[in-house]
Chain A
Amino acid sequence: MRSNLIIRAALAAGLASMALGAAAEPASACDNGVQIVVDTMTPRIARAERALREGKHTLAAVGVLQVFPNIRQGQITEGPLKLRAMRLMALAAVRTDGALTAGKQWRGTTAEEQRANIEWAIATLRGLDKVRPNTPSIQTDLGEALAKDGRSSAEALTLLSKLADRDLITSAEGYAALSRLREIAGDTAGRDAAAKRCEAMAKTPGTCRAGRTSGAAA
């Protein structure tokens, strides 16, 4: 069972860290030197998700990298927690317009780096959509990411419009992206309707202000 594998892996990590003199967390050591360490990966990813929802994109990304430092090379088939982490990283990249700088593998200073981050996000979200089809949250995120790439605006508009018709857009950012796309398309009524939904849903101020597309725009 997965829980047994996690406990065994954690136990091995705990024993290794004890050998190095490091304090293991969160359980305190028993006198006989054997300790069971509860899985810390899951709560860390959960905290990173909370940070993302609160608009703390870089903090969310750092949290993910602490658990999965090589997530940029991660495969979509690597298990549910990794999938969630990859989605988080993709959103952090999208919501910083690609200007995500964290660790060695994530640089977002130049236009080229920002474009690369957005492209990674889009590719990751497309992969997630294939693995988990018919999931509005992933489709919303993909639509949001595609809206950042000027070359994919039409696809983003179609995707987000279909979700909006069924009241299945799952984030304020998704509605913000839809509002922007409708404005570009000249649909002012649609733009306003989407903006209104964004404002009703948004947790953090500024979420609904129309954002620019990234340097990846054609």
Chain B
Amino acid sequence: MPRWPDLWGRSVNAMTGSAGDGEAQASGLRLWPARLATAALVALVVLVVLVAAIGCRSSPPEPSPPPPAPSGDVARGLALIQRYECGRCHDGAYMDPQPRNKHCFRCHQDILAGRFDAPPEAVREWRQRVRHLAFVPSLALSQTHYRRAWMERFLLNPTDLRPHLVPTMPRLALSPSEARDIATAIAPGDEPAVSFRGADAARGRELLETKGCGACHLFTGVPQLSTTPPSSGGAPTAPVALAPDLRAAREKLRADGLLEWLLDPAAVKPGTQMPDVGLSRSEARDIALYILTAPLDAVKTTSPPARLPTLERHVTYDEVSQRVFRKTCWHCHSEPDYAIGEGGPGNTGGFGFKGRGLSLADYDGVASGMLDEHGDRQSVFAPMPDGTPRLLAALLARQVEEAGESVPGVRGMPLGLPALSPEEIQLVETWIKEGRPE
């Protein structure tokens, strides 16, 4: 009979647990219930450990709020909001409404809505040009929904949050402490922890599909949603233009704010373009969990487009003006005499920038240059250290910014708008190289 050591190290009969003699056999039989209990206990422990291990692997990590960001000064932040004229674009409770001639979008909105006093033929022509420049996100959600730390980073290094919206947040001359103060004023609240126990991220993904969220939102970094925003041969509609890429949500949004928003957008922000798709609380939690925790592919790095060689043909000022200066630049670099004293942030000042006296509205304006930090005039064609004319350097810098980098000491132009195309920059460069013919 094979002999096993029992749990106490004694050698006992394998079948009977006996110690080998009659008394030992009897005592071994009496040990069986204890042995069975011990074995059962061991098995239970092993089972619990296994279940816990398997259970841990299948539950997604719960999103947790970031550590509290250092606070800035709310009063200073509110004063900075006025100084940097956030109200030129954004409507919101803590900034003075800007008059039409200072608001970056009001004219376009009025033109499209038929409220602009001008000859009908002019309005008809303008309507085609301003279709892409009518929408701007409000900051109505910021106090309860945005994360302060993200806001602070965003103000210092704006990224494109809304791929279908042509204008973007301009890169302002904010210091880190100013960004912190503004972020504290706009997004002051502490973020409570939200438990997503029981929520199902996979179901959240399915709901994004079935509820048609992809009809407006992109979600870069996850497998593409089956419904996608319509490719805009024309201008996107307001819902599509204002729908952010959901990739940024996990940094930008508070989890409690996101849930509230998904459940009843209009209650959070009356008049919002975001529809109420009739989510239950459980569905909202599933979607939120997916948005906040879905694994993301790394951001694809891009490079600025290749610079084109100068053209062989003659380029006049009229062509450059029509295709570049008067199409884009003069919105901020206007002629005050024709704009009732308001030359735009790039001329008479705005967005926290001092007036630089640069008009790009006519040939004289371009040739008159801009004011430097000392108030002296300097040519916009003066070469930078690498020989690139200053104007051209600013246009190229905007392409670098769109690729996620920045050029030290050069603010990319146009501010808050897409970079010029390589062909447009080629046109400007050719014109400059030819001696800036009128």
Query: Which residues of the partner chain B approach A169 to less than 8 Å between Cβ atoms?
Result: 367
A196 to B365, CA, bound (A): 22
B368 interface contact, C-beta 8 A: yes
A104 interface contact, C-beta 8 A: no
B118 interface contact, C-beta 8 A: yes
Are the C-beta atoms of A201 and B437 separated by less than 8 Å? yes
| Total count of chain B residues near the partner, CB < 8 A | 31
Are the C-beta atoms of B368 and A136 separated by less than 8 Å? yes
| Total count of chain A residues near the partner, CB < 8 A | 32
Query: Which residues of the partner chain B approach A201 to less than 8 Å between Cβ atoms?
Result: 435-438
Are the C-beta atoms of B364 and A46 separated by less than 8 Å? no
Query: Which residues of the partner chain A approach B338 to less than 8 Å between Cβ atoms?
Result: 42, 46
A170 interface contact, C-beta 8 A: yes
Whether A83 touches B337, Cβ cut-off 8 Å, given contacts A38-B118, A134-B377, A167-B382, is yes
Are the C-beta atoms of A81 and B337 separated by less than 8 Å? yes
Question: Chain B binding site: helix, strand, loop or mixed by DSSP?
Answer: loop
A174 nearest CB across to chain B (Å): 9
Query: Which residues of the partner chain B approach A202 to less than 8 Å between Cβ atoms?
Result: 437-438
- Digit string of A77-101 for contact with B (CB within 8 Å is 1, else 0)? 0001101100000000000000000
A121 to B232, CA, bound (A): 54
A24 nearest CB across to chain B (Å): 13
A27 to B117, CA, bound (A): 11
Are the C-beta atoms of B367 and A168 separated by less than 8 Å? yes
- Digit string of A128-145 for contact with B (CB within 8 Å is 1, else 0)? 000000111100000000
A171 to B379, CA, bound (A): 14
List CB contacts (< 8 Å) of A109-143 with chain B.
Answer: 134-137
Query: Which residues of the partner chain B approach A83 to less than 8 Å between Cβ atoms?
Result: 337
B369 interface contact, C-beta 8 A: yes
Are the C-beta atoms of A168 and B368 separated by less than 8 Å? yes
Query: Which residues of the partner chain B approach A81 to less than 8 Å between Cβ atoms?
Result: 337
Say which residue of A36, A134, A137, A166 sits within 8 Å of B364 (CB atoms). A137
Whether A170 touches B363, Cβ cut-off 8 Å, given contacts A38-B119, A134-B377, A135-B368, is yes
Are the C-beta atoms of B377 and A197 separated by less than 8 Å? no
Whether A170 touches B367, Cβ cut-off 8 Å, given contacts A38-B118, A83-B337, A136-B377, is yes
A112 nearest CB across to chain B (Å): 31
B249 nearest CB across to chain A (Å): 43
Query: Which residues of the partner chain B approach A22 to less than 8 Å between Cβ atoms?
Result: none
A49 interface contact, C-beta 8 A: yes
B291 nearest CB across to chain A (Å): 47
Query: Which residues of the partner chain B approach A216 to less than 8 Å between Cβ atoms?
Result: none
B336 interface contact, C-beta 8 A: yes
Query: Which residues of the partner chain B approach A137 to less than 8 Å between Cβ atoms?
Result: 364-365, 367-368
Residue of A1, A2, A36, A203 with most partner-chain B CB within 10 A: A203
List CB contacts (< 8 Å) of B91-133 with chain A.
Answer: 117-119
A131 nearest CB across to chain B (Å): 12
Whether A200 touches B367, Cβ cut-off 8 Å, given contacts A36-B117, A166-B378, A168-B379, is no
Whether A2 touches B368, Cβ cut-off 8 Å, given contacts A53-B438, A134-B377, A166-B379, is no
A172 interface contact, C-beta 8 A: yes
Q: A46-B338, A197-B435, A203-B317 known; 16 other A-B pairs, CB under 8 Å?
A: A1-B340, A2-B340, A27-B119, A36-B117, A38-B118, A42-B338, A49-B362, A136-B368, A137-B367, A166-B369, A169-B367, A170-B367, A170-B368, A200-B437, A203-B437, A203-B438
Pick 7 A–B contacts, CB within 8 A, sort by A.
A38-B117, A46-B338, A135-B368, A167-B382, A168-B367, A170-B367, A203-B438
Closest 6 CB pairs of A and B: A200-B435, A170-B367, A203-B438, A80-B337, A137-B364, A167-B379
